[in-house]
Amino acid sequence: MKCDLCFHQCELTEGKTGFCKARGMRDGKIVSLNYGCMTSLALDPIEKKPLAQFHSGSSILSIGSFGCNFHCDFCQNAIISQENHVEYEKLTPEEVVNLALRLADEQGNIGIAYTYNEPLIGYEFIYDCAKLAHAHGLKNVLVTNGAITSKYLMDLLPYIDAMNIDLKAFTSGFYEKIGGNLELVKENIILCSAYTHVELTTLIIPGRNDGEEEMQQMTKWIASISKDIPLHISRYFPRYHCHIPPTDVDQIEHLCHIARMNLNYVYKGNC
């Protein structure tokens, strides 16, 4: 059987698990293996997602599971997104929403952010949770690589109030090396921007995606959708299998300067 949730279109046989480690074929069906498996739970400032123009100054219950449909050697959350054996606590959508509501009463929580690992490969849980959260007046925020099949995204978007989508680079070669798909991400950025509040993040890795020309092309393309889409240009630090030294703060400043020629809202991150 084929899983069509993302561009990998994994062919699965009984007992096999997909590229993302979060879906597999069990008892003749393709199932979500990380449904309700919480590896991370925290009440975070909304700016940490990062979102600069959505309920600034608020906090949001941030949850994560395991698995990812990209294999970035520089992953900043590799323990939960790339490793095989991950510890987790099982929660139902009702339990997550009840926790979010309690935190809303006690600490001003505005909703639920699906983040830390790639949330969209746990599609069924995100969908159930987001729908229930909306029914209780909570906000839903997705922090994603933006690389699932557009038809699934369309069904989820009515329940999503804001997104931060990674636009990791602007070359197909960069995306191919991490098992990603630039064209699908671009397509989904256009789609999501039409339906919800979208901000973008680019993690700048020295020698890989830090060229002026690439930043020019990327920000011109973003401006062709809207000059008002906020872009977060973030500083990289060595993690997981990538040992390139951290990005110079001056280079982040320089790329922000280039980006501001094309976009109205550019923010530096991790500096």
Residues found near ligand SF4 in the complex (CB under 6 A): 3, 5-6, 8-10, 18-20, 23, 69, 121
The token pair at 78 is: 């590799």
SS3 178: coil
Of 234, 177, 249, nearest in space to 203 by CA = 234
Our CB check for ligand SF4 shows the closer of 32 and 59 to be 32
Tell me which residue has its CB nearest to ligand SF4: 18
- Say whether 68 counts as a known binding-site residue: yes
CB of 9 to ligand SF4, least distance (A): 5
Rounded Cα gap, residues 123 and 129, in angstroms: 10
Our CB check for ligand SF4 shows the closer of 5 and 63 to be 5
CB of 255 to ligand SF4, least distance (A): 31
CB of 94 to ligand SF4, least distance (A): 25
Identity of residue 259: A
Our CB check for ligand SF4 shows the closer of 71 and 197 to be 71
The token pair at 241 is: 């299998």
CB of 69 to ligand SF4, least distance (A): 4
The token pair at 231 is: 């872009």
SS3 164: strand
Our CB check for ligand SF4 shows the closer of 7 and 195 to be 7
DSSP 7-44: TT--B--TT-B-TTSSEEEETTEEEETTTTEESEEEEE
Our CB check for ligand SF4 shows the closer of 154 and 194 to be 154
Which residue is listed with tokens 């990062």?
Answer: 50
DSSP 74-85: T-TTHHHHT-S-
CB of 111 to ligand SF4, least distance (A): 25
- What angle is formed at CA 34 by the lines to CA 159 and CA 190, rounded to 5 degrees? 40
Which residue is listed with tokens 């602007």?
Answer: 170
CB of 245 to ligand SF4, least distance (A): 31
Our CB check for ligand SF4 shows the closer of 17 and 217 to be 17
- Say whether 72 counts as a known binding-site residue: yes
Q: What is the DSSP letter of 261?
A: T
Rounded Cα gap, residues 129 and 97, in angstroms: 7
Rounded Cα gap, residues 88 and 65, in angstroms: 8
Residues annotated within a binding site: 68, 72, 75
Residues annotated within a binding site for [4Fe-4S] cluster: 68, 72, 75
